[in-house]
Amino acid sequence: MNKVHFILTFLSKKGFFSYKPVRITAYVFGALLSFFLLLIFLLMARLSFSPINLDTLTPEINANLNFAQAGIQGQVSHTQLVWKDWLRPFEIELVELTLQKGDRPEWLKIDNVGISLNLLDLLGGHFSLKQVRFYHPYIELEREENGQFSLGLGEGPAEREFLLQDILPLLAMGEANSNLGKLNELSQISVINAHVRLTDAQQKKAWDLPKTTFTLKRQNKGFSISLKLKPQRNGGSLTFSLNHRLGSSRLDASLNFKHISFNKLFESKDLPLCPSKSELTALDGLLNFLQCWDLPLDGKVSLAFNPETFEIIEGECDVNLGKGFLDLSLAKLNPLPLQKGTLIFSLTPKKFTLKEISLISDSMKTHLIGDIKSQSPFILTNFFGSMESLTLQGQMEDLLLDHFDAIWPQKFAINAREWLTKHLHKGILTQVGFSLKGHSEKEEFTLDEFKGSLEGERAEINYLEGLPPAQNVSVQGTFDQKGFDINIFSGTVDVFEVKKGRVQISGLDTGKEALSLDLETHGPLSSLLSIIDHKPLEYASYGGLDPNKAKGEGSVHLKMNFPLINDLRFKDVKMTGIGTFDHVSLERKITDTLSAQLNKGNLSLDMTQDQLEITGKGLINKLPSTLLYSHDFKGQNPNEIQIKISAVPSFDDFKQFGFDLSDYAHGPVPTTVTYLRTKEGENAILLDLDTTPSTLSFNLLDWQKNPGETSSLSLSLGIENEALTRLDDVKFTTPAYSFAGQVFFNENKGWNKIHLSEFKGPFTQTRITIETPSKDAYKIDFKGQSLNLEKILELLKDDTKKQDHPPTTLKLSADVETLRLGQDKIFNNVNGAADLFIQEDDTYWKEVHFTAQAGQGTANKGHMAQVSGGISFDLLPPQNGIQTLEVRANDAGVFLKNLDVYQNIRGGYITIKAQRKNQGPFTGVFKMKEFDALEVPLLAQFAGLLSPMGISNLLSGDQAISLERFECQFEFGDEFVNIHKGVGKSIALGFTVDGKLDRKNRLFSLKGNVIPARFLNSILSNIPIIGSLLNGGDGQGMFAISYTVKGSFDSPDVSLNPLSALAPGFIRNLFQFSDDAE
């Protein structure tokens, strides 16, 4: 057998142990120690090849992993003794430790659990834990209803809390703690590369946390903790450390960053660990706050605080920021993109010193310094709660305006912030400098001083929602806690150039933020109209102007004031704009066929939030004119738009507007045209014409107004859907005639109704309504005090003035007090209606009903019989082709004179009854009774020769012969009148008449007898048997003179046969002229 000898030379020397038993004891101890070391060496050599199986312990271990109350069952697949390294030569390892909870077989899974025992205690027969290490544990955390994650191990109070001072003794060594049991002997606990999964069964989601390594080193009267996080798929790490000695009032904490981005620590973006409103009130708040940063960090943050009071003792930070997005939600700011940056600060109990914040992006540089002071030490759990004062100074270069919201705190001047961040875009703030001072009082921060300056370029400003933005704006200005004062040096709105301007924002300190804008601009009129044509203005569209057709150039000085509120309405905007434009060309459509064109105009513009007004001069439709354009927005004026044009055209110029008045007017006419658009969308055009210098004429009335005679015409053109629908408020005045009324137009652009509510002229004052129910059909109604048709009748009688016209249907009605047909030709209380048809020179009367009064006298029959001077005229419509006429007049003389039929009749009454068939001539009976025939020299001559009573007894003093009656049968045609059996009788005379009147050629062809001494003749005629032989028949007499009338109406040829007076009636025909009167 080989033996190993251990020689302890320092024990073998004489003089060291001189006593032999002691030496023997030393040898024995040395031999045992050598043997133990040899065993250790051999064991380590064995373990270096492979672990030693300890599965005999596995059943016992599994039995102790059953936690029935929590519903957890644990199991170890293998137990072995392993050698890890020289510091841990012997370690009991539990392989594949799995905890099952309910129906989840791998609720908690750990690849390996290493347990190191205290060797000396073990040799002494005492089982003592030294270290425990968990390798690659798989931990699944459940999300509870309150949103917190829990392992669910065991059961306890629902909301149990642990104070830090209660936990610290458990973490340190040196004092026995019955709560820890065997764990009290552990010097180190490690969790190495843990895989932690968070699950949410309700949302059916799961998230993997970073690789986590946790180490707790327990020291005598103290401990140190290290927590290291590594992203699953990205490089870098974050190490959190805590160090503490029991009994000490100081706890040291630190964060070490090694190119780590908190945003990359978690694989899923669905993990809601980053709060929407971070508040830095505790360490976990700091972690939450930093977790929102999407940029890599390098450096260290250290902090010392009292674990009982959480008062800060000291701290410092020196961290470099890489490329990414800097979360500024703590300052109520939006994320800021960075290329790199630096954060350096230091902490003392009562002062936070910001030594440097340096932020650099692609085009921006920011540098900030400042400090926060406190009357009492800062508290970690409420860092800003004890803040007394704050100072901050900063410089920025090339800040993108799109990131302007990143530097404006969300709770400062909220309305102004929201408006500016919403309406400022693009562009760069090339230089920004500011300083800030404030203090805290009763947990409220008060800004004492805030001021600075800025310069910017290429900015885009949406000054009013809907309008084109101002672009490429260059600015320079100052600001303070009350507002901004910014000068504008250049920019454009559309293609309108901003020459200079000023923007002032006020009220930041009062909460009533407002903006004032003052701009001086220059550019083309088309661009200005295009700008103001956008909503909410739409000035050009409302005004009917097409910006694309506008020409001209000018300047506008614009001022705007409005509150900075998100729901800004146009009525809240106060605005003024004053401008001038030269060489203007504009076009405005009035109707489908009518438009107004302005050329070579010089215009002035005056605009407010309530009204837009344009004035100037130019050529409108080639006429020199003045222009006034007014657009009301406020609603106080019923007319939303008003355009007034004044010019002096001639009536020939009206042809270009679709009005040909050459038959009625000539010469110059000063004219004002006013276009109106109401708030209800209705359109109207007012025309005011001063016709004093014009020549006016109307052939129908044989009237003419000469230049210099005062006259005027005004009217309103009603426009709907860009079409002329009516003429309203038509008023025409001259020394002779005047009228007022309306004209209405149909969809075919022709008039369909003319209503003159008042028509005045010589002997005329009436209302006239003319309608066209269909083509070439008219309804004319007269109603009023008086109507004079003298000139119209004269025109109708004049064949030289007749004009060709298409076949026309007329329906006439009248209800007037006085109808005048000429000098002393008056009808009173006229009421009638007529329906007639006119074709070429022919007039066909379909139906007439007419009542009136003229003269005096009454009759025995008819519905007008007892009306003094009553007249009735009834022409009935055809029945079976037969048309009936009945006329009655109670004063025949006045009736016939008024109709210009016969002037030499006085008194009497007339009855006419007739019929016609198929529009042929009328045939009927004419009767006139009890009338005087005036100035009849032929009848008077016969009476003087033959009457035994003498002429002086037959004629009255006024040379009138009274007749009892006259009646005849007649046939009345368009060109002739045939008279049959005409008989006239009086006490002195009698006469008969037969023959024809040629109306076309105006010729007489009549014959008859004049019977003097009618009384004697009547006695003889009544003798039985011989009476009829003596008088020659009805209406004849024993003594009569036959006559004939031939020739023209103007100069007839009257012939008498004196011998016929001596012949009895039955032979008198022998003595009549041989020529046939027919």
pLDDT, residue 1071, reads: 39
The three-class DSSP label of residue 65 is coil
468 plus 387 within the same structural domain: no
Phi/psi at 165 (5° precision)? -70, -20
User: Is-contact 402 430, C-beta < 8 A?
Assistant: no
- Domain identity same for 478 and 329: no
Same domain, 523 and 581: yes
Q: For 655, which DSSP code?
A: G
By the 8 A CB rule, do 317 and 343 touch? yes
Decide if 500 is inside a domain.
yes
459 and 394 together in one domain? no
Tokens of 879: 């029945």
Among residues 572, 601, 618, which one ends one of the domains? 618
Please report which residue ranges of 580-629 form alpha helices under DSSP H. Answer: none
Tokens encoding 864: 């007008």
| Omega before residue 536 within 30° of 0, cis | yes
C-alpha–C-alpha distance, residues 553 and 524, integer Å: 4
Shared-domain flag, residues 313 and 428: no
Ramachandran region of residue 242, left (φ > 0), alpha (ψ -120 to 50) or beta? beta
Give the E-state strand segments of 662-750 in sequence order: 665-666, 671-678, 683-690, 695-698, 703-705, 712-720, 723-733, 738-745
734 to each of 426, 655, 761, 785, how far by Cα in Å? 68, 23, 9, 20
Task: Supply the pLDDT for residue 177.
Answer: 55
592, 883, 900, 882: which is closest to 721 by C-alpha?
592
Pairwise CA distance, residues 107 & 115, whole Å = 22
- Measured CA to CA, the distance from residue 927 to residue 917 in angstroms comes to 22
For the record, the structure tokens of 9 come out as 């030379």
CA distances from 341 to 255, 346, 370, 436, 828 (A): 18, 17, 17, 22, 109
Helix (H) / strand (E) containing 794: helix 790-797
- b/e sequence 866-899, b meaning 16+ C-beta within 10 Å: ebebbbbbbbeeeeeeebbbbbbbbbbbbbbbbe
φ, ψ for residue 403, nearest 5 deg? -105, 15
Question: What is the bridge-based pairing of β-strands 496-506 and 188-200?
Answer: unpaired
Domain membership of residue 1039 as a residue range: 936-1070
User: Which tokens hold the place of 298?
Assistant: 């390098």
| Side chain identity, residue 866 | Q
Per-residue pLDDT, 460: 84
Given a contact cutoff of 8 angstroms between Cβ atoms, the answer to whether 444 and 456 are in contact is no
Question: What are the distances in angstroms from CA 621 to CA 630, 673, 693, 759?
Answer: 20, 13, 22, 33
58: which 2 tokens?
């596995």
The residue with tokens 């320092």 is 10
DSSP three-state, residue 535? coil
Is residue 451 assigned to a domain? yes
- Residue 13 maps to a domain: yes
Distance CA 35, CA 1014 (A): 197
| Domain membership flag for residue 482 | yes
- In the chain, the amino acid numbered 117 is L
- Do 384 and 438 belong to one domain? no
- Whether the CB-CB separation of 674 and 628 falls below 8 Å is answered with no
One domain, residues 445 and 580: yes
Does residue 114 sit within a domain? no
- Long-range Cβ contact pairs of 769-778 (< 8 A, separation 24 or more): 776/806, 776/807, 776/808, 776/809, 777/808, 777/809, 777/810, 777/811, 778/808, 778/809, 778/810, 778/811
Of 939, 978, 975, 987, give the one whose Cα is nearest residue 959.
939
Measured distance CA(842)–CA(884) in Å, rounded: 19
DSSP state of 809: E
Our CA dihedral for 291, 292, 293, 299, rounded to 10 degrees, sits at -20
Give CA–CA dist 795/469, Å, rounded. Answer: 70
The tokens of 723 are what? 């079409």
Distance separating alpha carbons of residues 1027 and 570, to the nearest angstrom: 110
Max CA distance (Å), the chain: 224
Closest Cα partner for 195 from 106, 68, 324, 115?
A: 106
| Confidence (pTM) | 0.56
Domain termination site, one of 582, 603, 618: 618
If asked whether residues 553 and 452 sit together in one domain, one would say: yes
Which amino acid belongs to residue 638? Answer: P
Going from the first residue of the chain to its last (1078 residues), give the mean pLDDT of each consecutive group of 10, the final group possibly shorter.
40 49 70 68 69 81 72 82 66 82 74 74 62 75 60 40 53 56 68 75 67 79 82 81 85 90 62 45 47 80 88 92 72 69 92 90 84 87 78 87 70 71 80 87 77 87 77 87 86 85 84 85 85 71 75 88 76 84 81 72 83 84 84 73 87 76 86 82 83 86 87 85 81 92 83 90 91 87 90 69 73 91 89 85 83 87 83 91 92 87 85 90 92 65 46 53 88 90 82 88 87 54 48 53 82 73 47 39
Taking the CA atoms of the chain, what radius of gyration do you get in angstroms?
63
Can you say whether the dihedral through the CA atoms of 305, 306, 307, 308 is positive or negative? Answer: negative
In a domain, 1002, yes or no: yes
Domain's final residue, options 593, 618, 643:
618
Render 368-416 in DSSP notation, one character per residue. Answer: EEEEEEESS--BTTBGGGGEEEEEEEEEEEEEEGGGGGGTS-TTSSHHH
* Residue 299 to residue 1028: CA distance in whole angstroms: 159
Look at the chain and report how many structural domains it folds into: 4
Residues 6+ away with beta carbon under 8 Å from 1062? 1039
Copy the structure tokens of residue 352: 């936070």
With tokens 């703590």, the residue in question is 330
With respect to residue 171, please indicate whether it lies within any of the assigned structural domains.
no
Q: Is the same domain home to 947 and 1063?
A: yes
3-class DSSP state of 847: strand
Read off the tokens for 248: 């000490």
Same domain, 506 and 532: yes
366 occurs within a structural domain:
yes
Q: How many helices (H) and strands (E) does the chain have?
A: 14, 57
> What residue type is 193 in one-letter code?
N
Q: Say if residue 381 is in the same domain as residue 421.
A: no
Q: Which residue blocks in 979-1066 are alpha helix, DSSP H? A: 1014-1021, 1027-1031
User: Are residues 336 and 381 located together in one domain of the fold?
Assistant: yes
